[in-house]
A and B are shown apart, each in its own frame.
Chain A
Amino acid sequence: MISLEQYNEAVDKYADGLYRFALKMAGDRDDAQDLVQDAFEKLWKNRKKVDSQKIKSYLFTIVYHKFIDNYRKKSFQASLEETGLDPSYTDSYSDVMEILQKAIDRLPPAQKSVILLRDWEGYSYKEIEKITGLNESQVKVYIFRARKFLREFIKDPKILI
């Protein structure tokens, strides 16, 4: 059960994190805002059922699954393609973080989401398991492969063009 105060507090605490996650996943500001609004809308509708201790993971769960649904329907396909690496851009990478930002967009959605949940939100493997519905070993494999991919990308961004 979530009170009105807890709900509004959740907006302050989690909307930004949820938005940057949605934005990175969807690659489009409007779509990301939709995902965030949908998540909070659902939270509000289900406020009597949601455990106040689990608001954050509830929100991320909704955004994750909504994104995956949309992705599967291929409605986001075009925007994902647009976020692909621009070959002309690779020569002007200024630092590792910039390279990584590009590299993340090249990851498959499942790997991308788990690594973002892990690094940006600091979720444990168990929590990511609950959010994504993957099992713990899948979460581990996705994270490990994502890190390997990012490592390769840091080594030489051009090899993945």
Chain B
Amino acid sequence: MITRQNYEIYALDYIEGRLPDDLKKEFERFLNQNPDIREEILSLRNTIAVPTPGDIPFPNKNQLKRSHIDGLTYTEELIISDIEGIATEKQKKELAGLIAHSPQIAREYQAFQQTRLKAPDITYPHKQGLKRKIIDFPTIARGAIAYAALLMMFLAISTFLNKPDKQILTSIQLSGHFEQIIFLTPGDISPFPDISRPVVVSHEKEKLTSSKTEMAGEPTIATIENSSKDSQIVEKIHPRTFSVEPELTHEIVVYKPSQTHTLYSTLSNITTNTTEKLSTWLEKQGIRVSRREFMIKINDKSYGISVAGK
């Protein structure tokens, strides 16, 4: 019970608003019953400066705060979190307050907005070459067309090889993992209606070595020996194809049945210049050219060209 003897115990808490509700009510009742003390309390109230939240804020409080990430300020972390869309509601509110009160932070926020990258308009140039088709006869025929293109390319190579520095094509390697191997050979029936060359089909990954014979005025016959299994496969090639090549080595293959008309190959000992010319030449033939699918190896460095059907 509050009395004239003990009221001072409650007075300060009352003035500072810290009395619990029940005591506050009781104290006010007591004040009403004791006007002189009421006067005294009111006058005392006016002499005490009661701080209210926000009256004297510490300036740049956020500068004292630390970021979770080394090298970033707390404000920068708030800004980037917001830009990244991962800011909490509390962080968003805090940032909004900072932006509202600080033009500098508002400018920073704008500047960070600009760090969002826009994807440039770049397209992959050989998308069609990445696509796959289920093998069928027409597809094989297209593959054969591409193979013919490859042979024509060898012809083109030959013209580049007649250079003073005598860059000689010493080997051709066709490499890759193939489910089916198809070679042109005389004596077999061609599965390609539009190609007169006969074809032999082998089902193994092979390493083949060829040696060349040339007969004037007659198609060149390159004998390709299958070093792994089949006794001999002979390929009929355009007379000029290998005319400048003293030796010719073939390692495998033509194409994957599942992969349409892509030809894989590595040519050794050709200049970079030759590679560029080959690319140009192929493009002139209307053959799409890209890296990778057709590999050319020059002094242990590989360059690639893709040969796709017209």
Contact = CB atoms under 8 A, between A and B. Distances in A.
**A joins B in a complex:** yes
B77 A33 contact: no
A11 B131 contact: yes
B130 A96 contact: no
Interface residues of A, number: 43
A97 B114 CA distance: 8
B127 A11 contact: yes
A50 interface: no
Interface string A27-55: 00010011011001000100000000000
A145 B77 CA distance: 10
Contact of B130 (A11, A118, A140, A148): A11
A130 interface: no
Given A37-B293, A148-B72, A148-B80, A119 B124 contact: no
Interface stretch (B92-100, B115-123, B149-157, B216-224): B115-123
A145 B124 contact: no
Nearest to B126: A33
B48 interface: no
A160 interface: no
A143 B116 CA distance: 11
Contacts of A115: 117
B114 A96 contact: yes
B18 interface: no
Contacts, number: 99
B124 A19 contact: yes
Given A16-B124, A148-B76, A119 B131 contact: no
Contacts of B116: 119
A16 B123 contact: yes
30 contacts: A7-B131, A11-B127, A20-B119, A20-B122, A23-B122, A30-B304, A33-B124, A33-B126, A33-B291, A33-B292, A34-B291, A34-B304, A36-B130, A37-B293, A40-B130, A44-B132, A100-B115, A116-B117, A118-B84, A120-B119, A143-B84, A144-B72, A144-B76, A144-B77, A144-B80, A145-B72, A148-B72, A148-B80, A151-B114, A154-B115
Closest 3 CB pairs of A and B: A119-B117, A19-B124, A20-B122
Interface of A: 4, 7-8, 11-12, 15-20, 23, 30, 33-34, 36-37, 40, 44, 96-97, 100-101, 104, 115-116, 118-121, 125, 140-141, 143-148, 150-151, 154-155
